[in-house]
Amino acid sequence: MSHHLVSAADLRFAYPDGTEALRGVSFVIHHGESVGLVGANGAGKSTLLLHLAGALLPTSGQVRVGDWPVTASTLPQIRRSLGLVFQDADDQLFMPTVGDDVAFGPLNLGLPPAEVDRCVAAALERVGAAHLRDRPSHRLSGGEKRLAAIAAVLSSSPDILVMDEPSANLDPAARRRILSLLRSFEHTKIVASHDLDLVLDVCARTIVLHEGRVAADGPSAEILADARLLEPVRLEPPLRLQACPRCGGAAR
Amino acid sequence: MAGLESALAHLGSIEALAARATPVHRLDPRAKLLTTGAFLATVVSFGPRQVIPLLPLALYPVALGALGDVPARPVLARLALASPFVLLVAIWNPLLDRAPALAIGGLVVSGGWLSFASILLRFCLTLGAALVLVAVTGFDATCAALGRLGAPRILVEQLLLLHRYLFVLVDEAARLLRAHALRAPEARRPGLRVAGSMLGQLLLRTLARAQRIHRAMLCRGFDGVLRRRGALRLRAVDLAFTGGWCAFFALARAVDLPRLLGGLALGAGR
Ligand SMILES: Nc1ncnc2c1ncn2[C@@H]1O[C@H](COP(=O)(O)OP(=O)(O)O)[C@@H](O)[C@H]1O
Ligand SMILES: [Mg+2]
């Protein structure tokens, strides 16, 4: 089924100030795949994700989501099937209360009010944030904001879930909650992170981005265990795969 | 810096009251908005030297606040906060207009003092009523009511987003100031040159954030119309609320109630 396919072909992008953030990125992600997008700070992860959602349009090259190339005229269809959770939740929560924010997507899809209420309740329930529904978003803690932002995307029932640094700045319990949430999402998911332990847990496949190019692409278990591959791109294998400093054996 | 942060906390504290569930909170926001509008119009329509006839109108904000379980303190604190501006405007009247206008017992009051008192009273009534309205309705519901009553869509949406991002902006400013304070512990506040560059920073950061927010909105299907959940429904009690109060305002405007009551009391005592 080509419906939930995500692909990039020689994608290039430069910011208006001349920074070349993407310098020829190509990959194909099939339906149901879970892909970790890893790379050091400034490698171009966020820029790439913005292209998948059509929030930025490439300087050259092409992105395809489902059956459509991402262009200005296909954006409504793209945004119907792909949900992007931003790196900074404050960018994403702009309505007076959490409930309003979670309702924003479904309302824009034109769903009837009863259906919208159902979507909102279900999405908040799913991230374990039902109690935040009537709270103003600007008064939440960082972790609560993240949960609200994820619920705000899940409420539109995307076929493809894209998350930018979902575990950044979270306490261990919130991180675990997001981890299990990600595992429970059965459609295509793409997660940008430098939390390689999380990527190893959630994603079967890993794409390594380095200075705007794909440096490696393959099964997470192989790529993330390969210290020689990760070192030049300024990453380290997940702690879980590193030798135990006390006993010298691998942690697992 | 601490001042800025506590100002931020205070900014939201009146609004936080809107989450309560009293009968006044349950009234349709349109009814409350219209009634408050009628109230403002009535207060403003009084003559510049009228003081006593205005007094009965205080019943509206006081009753609304009492029924809505709004604590007096935060409302009064905000009135006090804004009062210097009004005082500045009103204080010229007693100086300019010294002609005696009223004698109470042996005390002669000039026209200037009368209009001074009138301006102050009107300020307290109008701002007090607006604050109580937000406290029993919430800013977003008030905006929604504005929209339903035919205010231009773009204005309503600007108000809503402005209100939401006021907090982000103040947050950002507080972060900048905190960063400055930590690295320049001696300076009580940034010097002119540093303040200038900080202001520039604030502007750039705000612009960058505005761009990211707009992107996030587009990603969730925003097409220029902010849609809201939950239909508003006018019930009989809403109509009774608006009708009743408007009748009272009209009465207070047409008849000098304090004089009438005073006359009645004197008549009964005689
Ligand atoms: N708005 C912008 N204007 C100019 N350059 C930017 C902008 N945003 C990001 N960049 C640059 O683009 C590159 C990639 O950034 P980004 O995609 O945010 O990286 P990552 O998410 O992997 O940390 C970086 O070199 C960064 O400095
Ligand atoms: Mg990033």
CB < 8 Å to B166, chain A: none
Number of domains in chain B: 1
Rounded CA-CA distance A239/A201 in Å is 12
Q: How far is CA B191 from CA B172, B195, B196, B198, in A?
A: 19, 6, 8, 10
Domain contains B30: yes
Q: What is the DSSP string of B80-147?
A: HHHHHHHHHHHTHHHHH--SEEEEETTEEEEHHHHHHHHHHHHHHHHHHHHHHHHHHH-HHHHHHHHH
Rounded CA-CA distance A137/B165 in Å is 11
Instruction: State CA A132 to chain mean position distance.
Output: 23
Rounded CA-CA distance B35/B186 in Å is 52
User: Mutate which of B167, B172, B217, B229 to test chain A, going by most A C-beta atoms within 10 A?
Assistant: B229
**Residue A194 contacts residue A188 (beta carbons within 8 Å):** no
Rounded CA-CA distance B9/B77 in Å is 14
Q: Strand order in A20-29's β-sheet?
A: A20-29, A6-14, A60-65, A68-69
B222 interfacial to chain A (CB closer than 8 Å): yes
Burial pattern B110-122, b for ≥16 Cβ within 10 A else e, equals bbbbbbbbbbbbb
Q: How far is CA B182 from CA B113, B130, B191, in A?
A: 50, 39, 15
For the question of an ipTM over 0.90, the answer is no
Rounded to the nearest angstrom, the distance between the alpha carbon of B170 and the centre of ligand 2 is 24
Q: Note the pLDDT of residue A11.
A: 96
Which of A88-102, A141-155, A236-250 is predicted with the least confidence, judged by mean pLDDT?
A: A236-250
Give the ligand 1 atom nearest the CA of A87: 21
Instruction: State CA A163 to chain mean position distance.
Output: 2
Burial pattern A201-211, b for ≥16 Cβ within 10 A else e, equals bbbebbbbbbb
Q: Note the pLDDT of residue B270.
A: 60
Which of A46, A194, A233, A235 most suits a substitution to test ligand 1, by most atoms within 8 Å of the C-beta? A46
Domain contains B266: no
Which of A188-197, A235-244, B160-169 is predicted with the least confidence, judged by mean pLDDT?
A: B160-169
Q: Which two tokens stand for residue B159?
A: 């108000």
B161 interfacial to chain A (CB closer than 8 Å): yes
Instruction: State CA A184 to chain mean position distance.
Output: 14
Q: How far is CA B238 from CA A142, B21, B132, in A?
A: 40, 16, 17
Q: Which two tokens stand for residue A40?
A: 């050091």
Domain contains B252: yes
User: In sequence order, which ranges of B184-220 are alpha helices (DSSP H)?
Assistant: 192-219
Rounded CA-CA distance B135/B158 in Å is 21
Backbone torsions φ then ψ of B101, nearest 5 degrees: -125, -20
CB contact under 8 A, B163 and A80: no
Domain contains B51: yes
CA atoms within 13 A on the CB side of A171: 6
- Confidence grade of residue A6 (pLDDT, cut at 50, 70, 90): very high
**Residue A155 contacts residue A99 (beta carbons within 8 Å):** no
Residues with beta carbon inside 6 Å of ligand 1? A 15, 17, 19, 21, 39, 41-47
Domain contains B72: yes
Strands (E), chain A: 6-14, 20-29, 34-38, 60-65, 68-69, 82-85, 160-164, 188-192, 205-210, 213-219
Domain contains B264: no
The predicted model gives A230-252 an average pLDDT of 76
**Going residue by residue through chain B (270 aa), what tens digit of pLDDT does each one get?**
455 566 656 666 777 788 788 899 989 999 999 999 999 999 999 888 888 889 999 999 999 999 999 998 888 988 888 888 888 888 888 888 878 877 777 777 888 888 889 999 999 999 999 999 989 988 888 888 888 888 888 888 888 777 777 777 777 787 777 777 777 666 667 777 878 888 888 888 888 888 888 888 888 888 777 777 666 788 899 999 999 999 999 999 998 888 888 888 777 766
**Could you report the per-residue pLDDT of A52-63, keeping only the tens digit for each?**
998 899 999 999
What dihedral angle (degrees, nearest 10) is formed by the CA atoms of B56, B58, B64, B68? -130
Instruction: State CA B235 to chain mean position distance.
Output: 26
The predicted model gives A104-127 an average pLDDT of 91
**Residue A83 contacts residue A156 (beta carbons within 8 Å):** yes
Q: Note the pLDDT of residue A239.
A: 84
Domain contains B265: no
**Residue B104 contacts residue B4 (beta carbons within 8 Å):** no
For residue B63, what are the domain limits? 2-222+234-258
Q: Note the pLDDT of residue A4.
A: 72
B206 contact partners, CB below 8 Å, separation of at least 6: B169, B172
Rounded CA-CA distance B5/B1 in Å is 6
Q: Note the pLDDT of residue A212.
A: 95
Q: Note the pLDDT of residue B98.
A: 79
CB < 8 Å to A53, chain B: 219
Q: Which two tokens stand for residue A195?
A: 């939390």
Q: Note the pLDDT of residue A250.
A: 53
Q: Note the pLDDT of residue B12.
A: 67
Q: Note the pLDDT of residue A171.
A: 84
- Confidence grade of residue A1 (pLDDT, cut at 50, 70, 90): very low
Domain contains B41: yes
